Amino acid sequence: MFMCPVCFYKEMPDPPADYNICPCCGTEFENDDELRTYAQLRAHWISRGARWFFHAPPPLWNPWEQLFTAGYAVPYSVGVTFAGSVNVVSVEQSTNEPLAKAA
């Protein structure tokens, strides 16, 4: 298997050359990349929604996870904070009774 240098899909059946087409982003190598860089092709794929190109995607496939895994920044940004209920019941247990003597 080969990795696509455009979308970072890891399971290209053929190397990214010789007019082979990435099933994920649809780049035809040695054709599409003649006049555009990989970064430009990637930006174009992302701008069109980073959708799967050929037939149905593999089960559970996610384009953003593919980009994250490759260390590539995704084109959206959100702030994430963890929150939770403040309904906390804390009870400190103690005993005023003297410890029973060991038998």
The β-bridge partners of 70 are none
Query: Closer CB to another protein, residue 15 or residue 75?
Result: 75
Under rule CB under 8 A, which residues in 58-77 are in contact with another protein? 60, 62-65, 68-69, 73-77
The nearer residue to another protein, 30 or 65, going by C-beta atoms, is: 65
Which residue carries 């990637």 as its tokens? Answer: 42
DSSP 32: G
Nearer CB in complex with another protein: 77/93:
77
Considering only 1, 13, 82, 90, the residue that binds another protein (CB under 8 A) is 82
Torsion of CA 22, 18, 16, 48, to 10 degrees: -40
Binding flag, residue 85, another protein (CB under 8 A): yes
Backbone angles phi, psi at 58, to 5 degrees: -60, 155
